[in-house]
Structure 1
Amino acid sequence: MRSPWSPAAYSCWGKLQGSETSHLPLVQHLQDAGDVMDALWAQQPVNVRRLFAEALGGNDGARAFVCFLASAHDVGKASQHFAFKAYPAGRSDVAEAMRAAGLDVPIHVNRPLGHGLLGQVHLVDWLIRRHAADPLRAQHLGGIVGGHHGSNPSDQDFIDARNAFVEESNGWAKVRDEILDGFAIKTGADAWLGCWLAGPIPVEVQVLTCGLVIMADWIASDESLFPYEPPSEDRVERALATLNLPAAWAPFKADAVPDELLRQRFPRLGPEAGLNAMQREMVRVASAMTTPGLVLLEAPMGSGKTEAALLAAEILAQRFGLGGVFVGLPTMATSNPMFSRVRDWLDHVPSGGVTSLNLAHSKAGLNDEFAGLMPWARSRPPIYDDEVGAREAAATVHAWFLGRKKGMLASHVIGTIDQALFAALKAKHVVLRHLGLATKVVIIDEVHAADSYMRTYLKRVLTWLGRYGTPVILMSATLPPAQREELLCSYADGRAGRVSLPQTDAYPVIHVVDQGGVSVVGTASAGRDIEVALRPVGDELNWLASEIDVRITGGGCVGVICNTVARAQQAFDTLSRSLDCEVLLLHSRYLAPHRAAREADLVRRLGPASDLRPEKVVVVGTQVLEQSLDIDFDLMISDLAPVDLLLQRIGRLHRHDRTRPAALEHPECLIRGVDDWATQPPEFPVGARRIYGQDALLRSAAIVEGVGSVAIPRDIPTLVARAYDAKPEVPEAWRAATREATKRAALEQSSKVKRAGDFLLADPRRKSNLNSLISGPAADPDDSHGYQQVRDSEDSLEVIVIVRDGEGYRLPQGVGPHSGKAIGYSTPEAPLARALAACTLSLPHSLSGVWIVDRVIDELESAVDVSAWQASPWLKGQLALALSSEGVGELVGRRIVYDLSHGLIVESEQRVERP
């Protein structure tokens, strides 16, 4: 079959196979990319296709736009700066074929320019010459080609590229023109270019198009799908059938009444389950919205916010054509159980076929449920449905989305909030994260957990999502009013522009931002108010033991929450020695399998439907007891913390309806963790001040001393508002210290926001094209540094704990099927490597601070040779901490102990001072 291209155009290479004889002509790769885009476009959810159609002249114009730009993305490879690379690649035959076709191919080019930049410059020039485009409007298309490798050229880059083209022989420009002319005709773009260039193309359309072009390019570049061989007529069909990407989620319209809908989607709640007032209002709000928007739900702990959000997400996705959900949680520990809940919900949502699912955080591969869904390890039997019999799960893991930077493109993604915040980071390929989020209903739980640094990114993400018209659901039980205003206004900035916020004291409460502005809906509480007595107590551990002993004479389950691991371990030791009952400890410094087992045991025994509740138990823990674990205590004892977090802890007190021991019928929370309540103002431990700051602790202490009791949930919004008021109410004797602490906190917050701004993606309201969108200093979010750039914390040092066994090493006990297994000196096989990777611990700040971390790393590297680990993807870059069979070791003169009761203990036998 005669090629439609000139010999010169057909001679240009697009892909090489090293020193082998085969290669892929550039025009064939571009044809493949355009054809892939045609198929991808058909799979995009309705909301994306609608957004493009509104900006590009309708559905046909939108399809032509994306297919043309995918077909043009590598046009810059038709240049000397790319063509010469055939020589160093050992493919002089390819270079000589281009020479024979009349193209000047140099043997070497000094400082070769990227083909994305060269393609952008020529596309802009072609639009100006061929279609009389305004140069600025031409950049709206050109920037998509220039950014298809994940970053965007600067003004100086354009100057350099234009100079490079001036030095080029004329044959290259003719080939590039031929390619653009040819694909403009093939894709139908020639009929639409005048329309596209007549007005500005919204920057959000440019960003999403760039993401789609990258996706099409990556698929078309896969040699296993698109081999370097003469094309057949069914080349693309065969490739896409092999790839078999699932279509976007398309839930069917639900006909059930709201209460029945709850029972259908969450059968585990039982046949008598019904919506509470808040959940009913969420369903009504989602059903009544006329345009996509943001829903901010503030409701008490344990009131069923997750179920409410998922029901609303299904309705919003069905009504506005979204193709999936993203659910973001504060931590990996909270993300893992949510993965199971969302997956179970999806299995009960009727939809148009199997969609894709992903767990997105740095240790997702260690989640057994997620690992069992991998294409090579699927073990779940079919679901049985009473109406249709056996059927496949509604969502499953697809191998393509497991690739680097592709995870957010799956239809449904559950992970840490960081995965959403990365969309506001100036990092390569951020447009893929935008494409992933823009196609989903975005749900972020525990939104109050984001500090001022993280909120800088969250607010920017919300502005972009507002620009896309992406539905967002935010949830919190304890959100300060100022933070509520920030979040609502940030979304409105992208969606509706400047808005006025209605004032309300309602709680629970739902705020809605859509194209019409902001509205507020108060709802009835899910149940009765619980009056909780607050009692400041001393910090002496022997007194604490005596007090608990008296309180649980007739039985009771007690929660003791401490602000640091060291305090929790000290309390555990004292209470274990003093009390004649079971005492348990839970914190973040357990090996992941050990912590998961302890958490599961707590939920099993202290959860809402447990018939295994012990007569007496004391659970000592840290902030891990604050959220995610649906457990219930008869008495709560907590270190002083900021009021919103203190209320979260109190939310674990008398959480479920059950008969209480007579002495603990009335809920009470004892507040300790203060050096001396009698001083003016009170004095707080160093650890608490380092975590929360003096300002937040003073405000909280004033409230605790002033109120005597709180009504949950009625008092939650009032107390949170008081705690975060610009002029806090404190005793007269505290005011000077409080003013100083508030001033210091404001300076620290301002510094956090400024640091975050160094890596912050541009505001969509201030961008007309993609030029310089990604040219800043941010690292790749898929690397470890990206995590630190959306969380304002020092790098922690993670180690894998192994046990020294004679001359060799083995895994610790209690970590799964490989417990106690010997570790050889060669690269571990994948199952053993995965088991090792699960045995990680983050060392405390005293061993990972900047003043000591280098010494610790040097000592770890010299103690255990892990060079063989570098060949394992599970273990590459990891350090090992070797302990004796009794769990004892040493680091920089400090005794290290690990056991199943305490977790990791670092003893200060030899004090290591900061310089």
Structure 2
Amino acid sequence: MLNTWSPPAQSCWGKTNESGGWLPVVQHLEDAAGIMAEVWRLQPQSIRSLLADTLGGERAAQTFVCFLAGIHDVGKISADFAYKARFPRPDGTSTSYLCDQMERHGFVITKPEHPIPHGAVGQCHTQAWLLNRYPDVPRARRCARNIASIVGGHHGMNPTDGDVKEYGLSLAREDHLWKATRDEVLNTMAAHTGAEEYLPKWMSTSIPIQVQVLSEALVIMADWIASSESLFPYDVTEQTPDRVRRAATRLHLPHPWQLPPASNDAADIFRRSFPSIPGGAPNAMQASAVEAAEAMTEPGLLVIEAPMGQGKTEAALMCAEVLARKFGLGGVFFGLPTMATSNPMFGRVREWLDAVPATESSSISLAHSKAGLNEEYQQLMPWNAHMDVYDDSAGTQREASAIVHEWFLGRKRAILADHVVGTIDQALFTGLKAKHVVLRHLGLASKVVIIDEVHAADVYMREYLKVVLEWLGAYRTPVILMSATLPPAQRHELALAYAKGRHGRNAQVVLTTTDEYPIVTTVSDGVAQQGTSTSAPGRQIVVRSMGDSLDELISLIEDKMADGGCIGIIRDTVSRAQETFDALESRLDCEVVLVHSRFLAPQRARREADLVRRLGRSGGDRPHRIVVVGTQVLEQSLDVDFDLLVSDIAPMDLLLQRIGRLHRHDRQRPVSLREATCLVTGIDDWRDDGPAFSRGVDSVYGEDALLRTAALLNNLPGGTATVPADIPRLVREAYSEPFTWPTKWAARGDEASMKARSEHGEAENRAKTFRLAHPYVASSLMKGLTDVSTLDPENSSGHARVRDSEDSIEVIVIQESGSGGHRLPSGIGEFSGAELPLFGAPEGALARAVASCTVSLPRSVSNPWDIDQTIAELEAAPIDLSSWQTSPWLRGQLVLVLDAEGNSTLLGRPIHYDSKRGLTVEPRLDKGDPA
């Protein structure tokens, strides 16, 4: 500890432990300031440069964050905080002696009537200290507020302006010794860290909001590390520099991803990044994307639009390497629409990282709510992982390029790892008012951010996506967006959002309306669009409608599959898919497979992996005859190739995504299926004013979008579309305003469009309730950023969320066994049919297997008006599961208990589960529900 602290300062307690040990607050502040130097050293150059540009150089920026870390808990030197030692502990012991020793040094400690949080005390006092020290500096109050708010928000949330005024009045009546001791801390830390030299400049600079946010995030990191008793023990036997060195060595955080100089030629990058593709070379789109990234003179936005299956993922990873090397980013974030698509991408990104040359190992995390159940991720855990990987090219062992570090395993810390693969939600949370949101900002700002299937974000999600792009623009963070079917209006609004963040609210983006495809758009120092010729010849796709009769469908399949074939059928709802599967399986003499979202998670993952293996690019095990019935899970990120596609009608961009699974790869096909054909169903009848959609179809997608698709399909010349050439035109026309309706459809179409616009407006307004302020509006952490606390966005019970959907109920499924006990369902892998313990909670790998056996209940039993009763029925399970609350894997989970035949009931509805059909919920016939 510094020798300059007064006895009163040394008497102030900052931390205690269960055994009665304690740590002076000034020692904790020294620890935090010391470890901050290490945290700063491990930041990528992009983050250090952003702060340095404002604060007066890199040395000044490091001093700034070390000073803030060194004063962040100054508010604990207050009667309100000190009195907490008087509270009795749960175990009956007392720490009142901490107050006694402070009182012996002159502090007056009384029970506060309205306790002030210590972060708010620190913010108020720091602001007053700065104003007293620099009273004549122009804009002093604003500058002091911006600096002090970083202290006030170190627990992830700032007090409001009103709070600060109220607290200031209370602190004005405070005993002098408290103020004098806090002044001592501020004066000492200013001298100790070297901040005295820079404070005049900082007090004459309106610290930009992006610097405030990142500084607060760094202070939180340093505080969390310095608060670990295993790293910084309370029995202080060493000088602070030795404590810090020992803690840093033990923690051993990896350095940020750093790439050595290398060729940025697309062909060279492709060869070294994807060695598993022998003789591989980039196609025209990939080369164009790399060329656009290399041409950027400052970090920017890159939008890659290209056909399904043309290698957008490889293009994005190649561009990420170029941008990271060029602008000093420390890793990549790869966001995808769902957990199911994130899991396989995690493996692909790891394989890519092993191939890309880097100076040393970096950290990686899988970020979604079920990451702990991913087997590949589990094997990388510090207690499981072997840190060597086999290097095929050299035939030797070398250290893994990306490791899972224990410090990043916390839910709020996962985003801080160098490389993060997860759902798009993890990026959208950055635009949500929530506690500790600044950590998400630091996590994204330090990486090249890649978001796949960006068209899948609906109106509500795009409100968050746009504000996230604004903030990333303000941070000078490169962003790569990918889509095969992005409407021009959405491309423009996303590009404009990034430009506004980079250049201010008055930024303009002018994009040319073009049907060139593929196309790469950049928003950097200017706006550029570059179309490329596709590397593969266009395919003629016959698109025509057919009736919704299952008899007609079966006759068609029997005719078309006479010589074999692989047929895909995509339904808009699970119930339609199950109904179709039942009819086909009972009447067709071939393999029929069903895939949808209501299978147990491990069964769905195994099913999808098997389909990709058998129907993917390699096709080594391609079946002679198979029919795959599925829902939208077949639409995204699954590399499956059908000889014939039957699809329910859907919005045009999504229908084209589905068509991307038709004749996807070059291969020999049965004679009757050599003409690529998509048959569109989901229409019961054609009326004068347009199609009458089948039951349930227009409840998934609005009538406006479906009518537009139907109108455009009717106008296809010769009933054919050329893919990929027609994709941009069809998507552009589907989302054009106003839409040109067939004459007899006009009244119905206009009404549907008006309803859609109203619903879009309502969704935008709902999103704005919890959406973060724009970076050009939020001048301070207290203004629209961390001044409002919402529930944890990753907690399904929270009201603030980035998807505009009703709460669904996820349940663990277990089944009665013949022995009178209970077991896990079959077909889930290693623990298929495993018996569960009669007493106590499952442990270890079995507990993880139980936790993975989840499925979401359909809306019919989770409507807002039914959800409470459904939860009550689930909690009243026929077996006592109270012991499961002791398991970190099973705590708080709802359980659906099936009988030995897979049956149960909820809300009087019969429920059945089997590994062929998944979960089904039957109507309540006794209540008059339609059969």
TM-score, L = length of structure 1: 0.98
Match of 2:820 in 1: 807
Q: CA deviation at 1:18?
A: 4.3
Match of 2:904 in 1: 889
Aligned pair partner of 1:442 in 435, 443, 449: 449
Which residues of 2 match residues 597-746 of structure 1 at below 5 A? 597-707=606-716, 708-746=719-757
| CA pair 177-381 structure 1, distance change in 2 beyond 3 A | closer
Q: CA deviation at 1:227?
A: 0.6
Match of 2:91 in 1: none
Q: CA deviation at 1:385?
A: 4.6
The one-letter amino acid of 2:299's match is P
Q: Deviations over 1:662-701 (max 9, x none)?
A: 1111101000011113453111134221111111111011
Rounded to whole Å, the distance in 2 between the matches of 1:846 and 1:381 is 50
Match of 1:416 in 2: 423
The answer as to whether partners of 2:571 and 2:577 remain within 8 angstroms in 1 is yes
| CA pair 251-875 structure 1, distance change in 2 beyond 3 A | same
Which residues of 2 match residues 82-481 of structure 1 at below 5 A? 82-89=81-88, 90-106=94-110, 108-132=111-135, 133=137, 134-233=140-239, 234-255=242-263, 257-270=265-278, 272-379=279-386, 382-387=389-394, 389-481=396-488
Indicate the SS of the match to 1:500: coil
The one-letter amino acid of 1:74's match is D
Rounded to whole Å, the distance in 1 between the matches of 2:174 and 2:928 is 63
Aligned pair partner of 2:523 in 504, 513, 529: 513
Indicate the SS of the match to 2:753: helix
Alignment length (residue pairs): 911
Please list every run of 5 or more consecutive structure 1 residues that lacks an aligned counterpart in the other structure.
Answer: none
The answer as to whether partners of 2:388 and 2:397 remain within 8 angstroms in 1 is no
| CA pair 474-298 structure 1, distance change in 2 beyond 3 A | same
Please list every run of 5 or more consecutive structure 2 residues that lacks an aligned counterpart in the other structure.
Answer: 89-93
Aligned pair partner of 1:827 in 841, 844, 850: 841
Aligned pair partner of 1:849 in 860, 863, 866: 863
Indicate the SS of the match to 2:333: strand
Indicate the SS of the match to 1:322: coil
The answer as to whether partners of 2:157 and 2:789 remain within 8 angstroms in 1 is no
The answer as to whether partners of 1:851 and 1:914 remain within 8 angstroms in 2 is no
Match of 1:817 in 2: 830
The answer as to whether partners of 2:688 and 2:744 remain within 8 angstroms in 1 is no
Indicate the SS of the match to 2:509: coil
Rounded to whole Å, the distance in 2 between the matches of 1:365 and 1:792 is 25
Rounded to whole Å, the distance in 1 between the matches of 2:388 and 2:910 is 48
Aligned pair partner of 2:793 in 781, 801, 815: 781
The answer as to whether partners of 1:800 and 1:841 remain within 8 angstroms in 2 is yes
Indicate the SS of the match to 2:355: coil
Rounded to whole Å, the distance in 2 between the matches of 1:720 and 1:825 is 57
The answer as to whether partners of 1:358 and 1:412 remain within 8 angstroms in 2 is yes
The answer as to whether partners of 2:336 and 2:452 remain within 8 angstroms in 1 is yes
Indicate the SS of the match to 2:913: strand
Identity %: 53
Rounded to whole Å, the distance in 2 between the matches of 1:872 and 1:32 is 34
The one-letter amino acid of 1:552's match is M
Q: CA deviation at 1:730?
A: 2.2
Q: Deviations over 1:169-193 (max 9, x none)?
A: 1111111111000000111100001
Which residues of 2 match residues 463-612 of structure 1 at below 5 A? 463-497=470-504, 498-503=507-512, 504-514=514-524, 516-612=525-621
| CA pair 17-777 structure 1, distance change in 2 beyond 3 A | closer
Rounded to whole Å, the distance in 2 between the matches of 1:258 and 1:161 is 59
| CA pair 92-863 structure 1, distance change in 2 beyond 3 A | closer
The answer as to whether partners of 1:418 and 1:787 remain within 8 angstroms in 2 is no
The answer as to whether partners of 1:492 and 1:517 remain within 8 angstroms in 2 is no
Q: Deviations over 1:441-487 (max 9, x none)?
A: 00000000000000000000000000000000000000111111110
The one-letter amino acid of 2:118's match is H
RMSD of aligned C-alpha atoms?
A: 1.6
Q: CA deviation at 1:492?
A: 0.2
The one-letter amino acid of 1:98's match is M
Rounded to whole Å, the distance in 1 between the matches of 2:789 and 2:79 is 30
Rounded to whole Å, the distance in 2 between the matches of 1:98 and 1:18 is 20
Q: CA deviation at 1:231?
A: 4.2
Match of 2:62 in 1: 63
Which residues of 2 match residues 7-22 of structure 1 at below 5 A? 7-18=7-18, 20=20, 22=21
The one-letter amino acid of 1:506's match is E
Q: CA deviation at 1:55?
A: 0.2
Q: Which stretch has the larger CA shift, 550-559 or 807-816?
A: 807-816
Q: Does structure 1 residue 869 correspond to structure 2 residue 873? A: no
Q: CA deviation at 1:911?
A: 5.5
Q: Which stretch has the larger CA shift, 784-793 or 551-560?
A: 784-793
Indicate the SS of the match to 1:567: helix
Q: CA deviation at 1:821?
A: 1.7
The answer as to whether partners of 2:822 and 2:835 remain within 8 angstroms in 1 is yes
The answer as to whether partners of 1:116 and 1:146 remain within 8 angstroms in 2 is yes
Q: CA deviation at 1:389?
A: 2.4
Q: Deviations over 1:324-350 (max 9, x none)?
A: 100000000010010010010001111
Q: CA deviation at 1:892?
A: 2.2
Rounded to whole Å, the distance in 1 between the matches of 2:766 and 2:393 is 55
Q: CA deviation at 1:509?
A: 0.6
Rounded to whole Å, the distance in 2 between the matches of 1:679 and 1:583 is 37
| CA pair 912-484 structure 1, distance change in 2 beyond 3 A | farther
The one-letter amino acid of 2:229's match is E
Q: CA deviation at 1:704?
A: 1.4
Indicate the SS of the match to 1:121: helix
Q: Deviations over 1:824-854 (max 9, x none)?
A: 2312213221111111110111011112222
Indicate the SS of the match to 2:523: strand
The answer as to whether partners of 1:366 and 1:838 remain within 8 angstroms in 2 is yes
The answer as to whether partners of 2:499 and 2:509 remain within 8 angstroms in 1 is no
Indicate the SS of the match to 2:203: helix
Rounded to whole Å, the distance in 2 between the matches of 1:110 and 1:914 is 58
Rounded to whole Å, the distance in 2 between the matches of 1:677 and 1:550 is 25
Rounded to whole Å, the distance in 2 between the matches of 1:489 and 1:911 is 55
Rounded to whole Å, the distance in 1 between the matches of 2:614 and 2:926 is 41
Rounded to whole Å, the distance in 1 between the matches of 2:567 and 2:56 is 64
Q: Which stretch has the larger CA shift, 380-389 or 810-819?
A: 380-389
Rounded to whole Å, the distance in 1 between the matches of 2:600 and 2:740 is 43
Q: Does structure 1 residue 903 correspond to structure 2 residue 918? A: yes
The answer as to whether partners of 1:797 and 1:842 remain within 8 angstroms in 2 is yes
Match of 1:767 in 2: 778
Rounded to whole Å, the distance in 1 between the matches of 2:214 and 2:42 is 14
Q: Does structure 1 residue 754 correspond to structure 2 residue 765? A: yes
Rounded to whole Å, the distance in 2 between the matches of 1:259 and 1:579 is 48
Q: CA deviation at 1:866?
A: 2.0
| CA pair 473-753 structure 1, distance change in 2 beyond 3 A | same
| CA pair 9-388 structure 1, distance change in 2 beyond 3 A | farther
| CA pair 194-734 structure 1, distance change in 2 beyond 3 A | same
